[in-house]
Structure 1
Amino acid sequence: MTRTNGFRWGAAVCALALLTAGSTVSAAATPPSAAVAPPSAASAQSAAASNVGHRTLSLSVPASGRKPAYDIRVGIDPFRITTVRAGKTVLATGSSGVSWVTTGGTNVTASRVVSAAYEANKLMLTVASAGGITAKVTIAPSPGQYALTVAPTTAPGSIAVDFNLTASGHWYGHGEATTPAGGPYTDQPWPLDSGTVQDSEFSAASYNMDEPFWFTQAGTGLSVATQTNMSVSIAAPQTPHEGIFSVEASDTLTSTVYVGRNPKEVYNDYIAVAGHPTTSPSVDEFAAPAWNSWAQFYTTVTQQKFLDWAKGIHASGIGASSFSLDDGWMSHYGDFTFNSKFPDPKAMVDQIHAMGAKFGLWMTLWENLDSANYQIAAAKGYLLKSKADPSQPCTVTWWNGTAGIVDLANPAANKWFTDQIAALKTSLGVDGFKFDTRFYDPSCATDPGTTAQDYTTLGAKFASQYDLLGMGIRTHWTGAQKYGFTTREIDKGTSWASLGAAFHQVLALSTVGYPYVTTDMIGGSDGGTPPTKEVLVRWAQAAAVIPSMYSSTSPLGVTDQNGNTVTYDPQTVQLYKKAVALHQNLLPYIQAQIARTEKTGEPIIKPIFFDYPSDQAGYSIGDEWLLGDSMLVAPMLTAGTTRSVHLPPGKWFDVNNHKVVKGPLTIARYSVSLSQVPIFVKLGTADSANVMKAVGLK
């Protein structure tokens, strides 16, 4: 065995001799700078006679600082890539390994290695299919990670890498998951492999909060660097034990495999690349609920309904940082003028201010074809262009009709749109905005020299001029983490299933680098029957123990889309108020976690295994989480008044039952009345006393 630049090259030369007849044996298989001269092909063939069965190229990466030692083992025939740490497989390619689809539609799977060389600290392989079609695969190792690239020699339509899910334990990451069971609206598997994820539109331009990063129970991870659309399949029925990650319209699949000692180390390595926020939203966004009219009225909202709703909430003493008027106010989508349902917008804004709250407006860059602004923007060239005919605006169909999209990459268009928003602020006193829809659509052409991901950056910079009032924006993809916006989830239904999905997504988004994540509006906002009393209360309680509360459905009552009014009882109001009070009492502790995430990127909301990687039970739990290091919460996310609660190692104070519990321990039937939120304080931490005080204990 020889060593080059810290990496050890194993019995690779002998293994190369066992390639199928007619294959090339590279004389450069031994590193050129090794102490021994590289053997000739003939000597490699001779040496193979005493090494029958050595059908693996092995590259060993030594430990470095806190990075563990690991081995990369490449099977020759069949071609496989296996990552081994401390003698145990922690990541392995699946049945199709590396595959691609040619532009002609031919499915190709790499089945064997036909040549290999190690040069410039890279293992360079030529792999071939049974039909002889080849691709170049490069593995470039470094401490804690290695770059893995795949470049077919024939023009590819798509390129995929397939991993065996079971080799690494449970899988996490991804962001909002599209699933056959209703995700991301009513379903979000946690872990990902506990359900099925099938997303054919996974990209920086997706409306879903997608993040090309996945990590595993075994302390490994994968990120993919691409500007094109991806297709992601995890635990699909036809491949239940495999995760397949495919890029489209690209000559190369460029990815990084992370090798840590536990999942949190892998998260930290990815955040070191993606970045983390160094600023946070206004403290107002965390101190009291941000109310939005959407789920209360949908588009049937009027000025009188909006004010009656806000006045009722204000009079009840529930609390509000802001009241925002959502969709339903524009005369046409894209025009910044109010329709006839709002006879005196200035008086409406003034009345909200008189309650001590900020006023916000829903906003979109999508200009419907019947709007005056569409005609202006189209004439001036302010809209994204058509891919088919760049002389024409791109038109897109969305939930409110057909529109063009203001092109933020065009400085004149950007200023034109910004000036109109400034006029609303000046003339009416609007404090902030909820920017909905996307800043770019993949059906449109990008400006010359820009990419879909550039529009994420442009959108983030554009939105950073404004107060987002706790509703945030939905910017995503590697690098968006650093902007520090509140991240709001996609719309949810009003059912128990949606409530569970909402908080699985809180964990999913928090652990790909978005610490200021909030659920969809408390109670759901995707239409249909208003939430039951129990769903509304339990949702408010769970939202109380994350950084911010995003509200719409009033606990006083709500009007459904058919105009029917649902009235809740006085207890609903009291329990909602109790949840808000809990959140406000926790605010100093939450602010301390915000300060830490600004310094280190540490998530505010964490799955149990982030802090307790040896506690195996924590890897499958998605209805409990750590808020900082000193508090574990287990809100009711399903119907009933009992649930299972798992506590990791350590001493925990059970706030509801006023007793110390020693973990690890699973309490099979923990009683939770409708007025309770299960909270456990970790004893012996620097924040233990502060948290005890916040929850009403000394």
Structure 2
Amino acid sequence: MELMNRMSTLVIKSTLATLLLLGISLDLAAQQVTIPVSKGEKWFGGVVNEAHLMPFKEGYDFDLYANTGTNQASPLLVSTRGKFVWSEEPFRFTVGNDQLIISTGGASVVIDSSGTNLREAYLNASKRFFAPKGELPDTLLFTSPQYNTWIELVYNQNQKDIIAYAKAIVSHGFSPGVLMIDDNWADYYGRFDFRKDRFGDAAGMVDTLHRMGFKVMLWVSPFISPDTEVFRELKEKKFLLYDGSSKKPWVEADRPAIVSWWNGYSAVMDFTNPEARNWFHNQLEYMRKTYHLDGFKFDAGDAEFYATDAISFREASPNEHSRLWGELGKYYPLNEYRAMWKMGGEPLVQRLRDKQHSWDDLRKLIPHITTAGLLGYQFTCPDMIGGGEYGSFIGRDKLDERLVVRSAACSALMPMMQFSAAPWRVLSESNLAAVKKLTALRARYVPYIMEFARLSAITGEPIVRSMVYEFPDQNFEEVQDQFMLGKKYMVAPVVTVDNTRKIKLPSGVWKSDEGEIFEGPKVIVAHDVPLDRLPVFELME
């Protein structure tokens, strides 16, 4: 019997390999699917926060169930040979022995090999499973830098300092844009009103910011502080997730699930319940109308914060709970998410997760944002300039000024750029001038960025693209420190402490930002790249 099972497995693998070679799309319901990996074939996708480890190497393993990797994720893998793997449910995938092994728990898996390269694999998947909706988020998110109050104020969000931060933005020569008021503006989580001890006139504050030229977003999360008036109300209405250890059906469940997250312990909204979703949306609308807000920063929502055994109104995986959190953002053109599941093609703004103030994390920006594009998340913002993981700022007398400037350069020609640490506070006069020069450089490219943002809303194609996406068969699979802005501009920021870097030009005639003409393929060594320079190469022909 064991010999027969082995022979059957070999026949299935052989048949699958033959069908894939013929470019046939397969829809399989199985516990495990083994896909042969051809010589030189490279795979990407699944989890944005793992992108610096892509293309996947021998031994790589990741389980998407209840795990979005603290950032954006999707049940999609794409290969440089035109294949893609998709499932409506999360799966585990392992790379090894020239095989890609997909473990599903019985969910259906689609395997398609009708493309010939990474771009075709992505577009084939996009058209079938997450077609673009033809809509853009608020265009101010693209056309002007964004400003977040997090690093400057952390948990001390207050009216006086927010106004002071906005005034400093303008007085230091930065253009107003979207201003995000971050966490701890309320008395507790679930209380939808500004705390009176820090915000004497919140509506007046927002009106002042509007007169200065800003649009205003407010941080929100799906958490509810326990043992509060709102918690008791929502428990009574059964709008919360319930503890699954009781094994009770939903109608009998009476003990809300309490989860651990970075700010302590909280209950979680159950958005499988339409009435709970309506309640939360009504709270957002109350805040928007009462305080004249323009939109919301939807934080948390990671699949990891939804217990695998939680009892909900409708049965749902932790990943599905994460996706439902994403649905709320579609009410607001001015939105931002840091964690997401299976919402490619939607007019939702994604932000790369908080990076540390380090050169290692700076180097992750390009592979992470280009991989977000391969999962359908085109309207993505890199992390806050200089890093948004505030723990890496604690105990520092001063920041690495070179890192802050290089971070600004790396962000300058991405779809969006966001400041949090005030550059005029942390930088010398000369380094501040360098950052302002880089924001001015971005302003010159904004029309081109917007052209491709609008195209992306229609076609689904990334605004920023990995080199291998745009130039297949030119050995760019491992290049992580360059990217394409649309089809015309290759951007090669310095992402190391060293001022020298190698730039790999694809085939074609290229004009550098310094006016030099190069014919590719060619490797250029750029020595002593000034802090205020962002190497950009325009494809002439």
1:507·1:622 contact (CA, 8 Å) conserved in 2?
no
Question: Structure 1's 429 and 299: CA in aligned 2 closer, same or farther, altered over 3 A?
Answer: same
| 2:111 aligned residue | 256
Structure 1 runs (4+) deviating above 6 angstroms are: none
| 2:276 aligned residue | 413
**How many angstroms apart in 1 are the aligned matches of 2:3 and 2:479?**
52
Q: CA deviation at 1:386?
A: 3.0
1:231 equivalent to 2:97? Answer no
Q: TM-score, normalised by structure 2?
A: 0.88
Percent of matched pairs sharing the same residue: 24
Secondary structure in 1 aligned to 2:83? strand
1:365 equivalent to 2:222? Answer yes
Question: Counterparts of 1:398-477 in structure 2 under 5 Å?
Answer: 398-438=261-301, 441-443=306-308, 444-448=310-314, 454-455=320-321, 458-468=324-334, 471-472=336-337, 474-477=339-342
Q: CA deviation at 1:314?
A: 1.6
**How many angstroms apart in 2 are the aligned matches of 1:519 and 1:493?**
13
**Structure 2 counterpart of 1:372, which letter?**
E
**How many angstroms apart in 1 are the aligned matches of 2:379 and 2:325?**
18
Partner of residue 551 from structure 1, selected from 419, 433, 455:
419
1:590 equivalent to 2:449? Answer yes
| 1:191 aligned residue | 55
Larger % of helix: which?
A: 2
1:205·1:452 contact (CA, 8 Å) conserved in 2?
no
Secondary structure in 2 aligned to 1:629? coil
Q: CA deviation at 1:253?
A: 5.3
Question: Counterparts of 1:497-576 in structure 2 under 5 Å?
Answer: 497-526=360-389, 527-529=391-393, 531-557=399-425, 567-576=426-435
Q: CA deviation at 1:292?
A: 0.9
Larger % of strand: which?
A: 1
1:624 equivalent to 2:489? Answer no
Secondary structure in 2 aligned to 1:462? helix
**How many angstroms apart in 2 are the aligned matches of 1:382 and 1:663?**
60
Q: CA deviation at 1:406?
A: 1.9
**How many angstroms apart in 1 are the aligned matches of 2:224 and 2:60?**
33
**How many angstroms apart in 1 are the aligned matches of 2:386 and 2:532?**
17
**How many angstroms apart in 1 are the aligned matches of 2:423 and 2:15?**
55
1:246 equivalent to 2:103? Answer yes
| 1:298 aligned residue | 154
Question: Structure 1's 436 and 579: CA in aligned 2 closer, same or farther, altered over 3 A?
Answer: same
**How many angstroms apart in 2 are the aligned matches of 1:22 and 1:524?**
56
Q: Deviations over 1:327-353 (max 9, x none)?
A: 121211221233323333233223322
**How many angstroms apart in 1 are the aligned matches of 2:400 and 2:33?**
44
1:643·1:670 contact (CA, 8 Å) conserved in 2?
yes
| 1:607 aligned residue | 466
**How many angstroms apart in 2 are the aligned matches of 1:21 and 1:358?**
66
Partner of residue 489 from structure 1, selected from 343, 348, 352:
352
**Structure 1 counterpart of 2:161, which letter?**
K
Question: Structure 1's 371 and 538: CA in aligned 2 closer, same or farther, altered over 3 A?
Answer: farther
Question: Structure 1's 322 and 251: CA in aligned 2 closer, same or farther, altered over 3 A?
Answer: closer
1:283 equivalent to 2:139? Answer yes
**Structure 2 counterpart of 1:325, which letter?**
I
| 2:204 aligned residue | 347
**How many angstroms apart in 2 are the aligned matches of 1:254 and 1:627?**
32
Q: CA deviation at 1:173?
A: 1.6
**Structure 2 counterpart of 1:600, which letter?**
T
**Structure 2 counterpart of 1:174, which letter?**
G
Question: Counterparts of 1:57-206 in structure 2 under 5 Å?
Answer: 75-76=10-11, 83=17, 144-147=23-26, 149=28, 151=30, 159-163=31-35, 167-178=39-50, 188-193=52-57, 197-203=60-66
**How many angstroms apart in 2 are the aligned matches of 1:81 and 1:490?**
41
**Structure 2 counterpart of 1:83, which letter?**
A
Secondary structure in 2 aligned to 1:254? strand
Question: Structure 1's 196 and 326: CA in aligned 2 closer, same or farther, altered over 3 A?
Answer: farther
**How many angstroms apart in 2 are the aligned matches of 1:202 and 1:23?**
32
**How many angstroms apart in 1 are the aligned matches of 2:242 and 2:211?**
44
1:542·1:636 contact (CA, 8 Å) conserved in 2?
yes
Q: Deviations over 1:45-69 (max 9, x none)?
A: xxxxxxxxxx999xxxxxxxxxxxx
**Structure 2 counterpart of 1:476, which letter?**
W
Q: CA deviation at 1:635?
A: 0.7
1:199·1:231 contact (CA, 8 Å) conserved in 2?
yes
| 1:318 aligned residue | 174
2:47·2:73 contact (CA, 8 Å) conserved in 1?
yes
**Structure 2 counterpart of 1:386, which letter?**
D
1:173·1:508 contact (CA, 8 Å) conserved in 2?
yes
Partner of residue 334 from structure 1, selected from 174, 179, 190:
190
Secondary structure in 2 aligned to 1:299? coil
Partner of residue 497 from structure 2, selected from 639, 657, 664:
639
**Structure 2 counterpart of 1:175, which letter?**
V
1:295·1:521 contact (CA, 8 Å) conserved in 2?
no
**How many angstroms apart in 2 are the aligned matches of 1:76 and 1:144?**
19
Determine which structure has greater relative contact order: mean sequence separation of CA pairs < 8 Å that are 6+ residues apart, divided by chain length. Answer: 2
Question: Structure 1's 252 and 376: CA in aligned 2 closer, same or farther, altered over 3 A?
Answer: closer
Q: CA deviation at 1:302?
A: 3.2
* CA RMSD in angstroms, aligned pairs only: 3.0
1:203·1:230 contact (CA, 8 Å) conserved in 2?
no
Q: CA deviation at 1:162?
A: 4.6
Question: Structure 1's 572 and 242: CA in aligned 2 closer, same or farther, altered over 3 A?
Answer: farther
Question: Structure 1's 149 and 277: CA in aligned 2 closer, same or farther, altered over 3 A?
Answer: same
**How many angstroms apart in 1 are the aligned matches of 2:142 and 2:216?**
16
Q: CA deviation at 1:525?
A: 1.2
**How many angstroms apart in 2 are the aligned matches of 1:273 and 1:586?**
32
**Structure 2 counterpart of 1:608, which letter?**
M
Q: CA deviation at 1:468?
A: 2.8
Secondary structure in 2 aligned to 1:337? coil
